[in-house]
Structure 1
Amino acid sequence: MSDPAVRPAEPSGPWRLKDASARFTELVRRVRSDGPQHVTVDGQNTVVVISAEEFRRLTATATGKALVDVLQASPHRDVDLEPEPVMMSVRDVDL
């Protein structure tokens, strides 16, 4: 008979679906502390459980706001980025 005070060892790799289901609270805790957790079905990687914050980051619409913020915070924001015009000779073409 097993001792109820003894917890099973935490998975060091992917979770089997059976274990993930039986220990869902532990799975969620590991997502929050260790990051994404892989779950397998019949030995095949099937899903990855991620935090809500990570999901929002991955599905957010790119607005460019972060780039604008970085450029505005730059100590070199007064640098002129306009390219100088280059004068090129033009040759006659017979059509």
Structure 2
Amino acid sequence: MRVWPVQDAKARFSEFLDACLSDGPQMVTRRGNEAAVLVPVAEWRRLQAAAQPSLKELVLSDVARTDYLVPSRGKGRRRRLEPIRSVAR
């Protein structure tokens, strides 16, 4: 993966884009720190399809959201409760 300073990526964007399409992802740095990656659209779609649903997507979904969020219930026995008796006054 080639690393491009942001100034070079801006000044030579066509070359930057061609490198992405022919050689794969291209890293952009700002002040020496990694800032972004330009990836071909086919790879982006593959990554999006492989991603797990986010918490926001799970909460907003109308399908069984609790399948992911709630652990299965144990098989332990429950204690027996006696019925409440009313007290006469």
* TM value normalised by structure 1: 0.50
> Which protein is richer in helix relative to its size?
2
C-alpha separation in 1, matches of 2:30 and 2:21: 22
* TM value normalised by structure 2: 0.53
C-alpha separation in 2, matches of 1:19 and 1:28: 12
Instruction: Classify the secondary structure of the residue corresponding to 1:60.
Output: helix
Task: Answer yes or no: is 1:47 the counterpart of 2:47.
Answer: no
**Structure 2 counterpart of 1:18, one-letter code:** Q
1:20-35 matches, within 5 Å, as 20-35=9-24
Report the counterpart of residue 69 of structure 2 in structure 1: none
Dislocated runs of 4+, deviation >3 Å: none
Deviation, 1:60, is 1.1
Aligned length: 51
C-alpha separation in 1, matches of 2:2 and 2:39: 15
Q: Percent identity?
A: 43
Structure 1, unpaired ranges of 5+: 1-11, 63-95
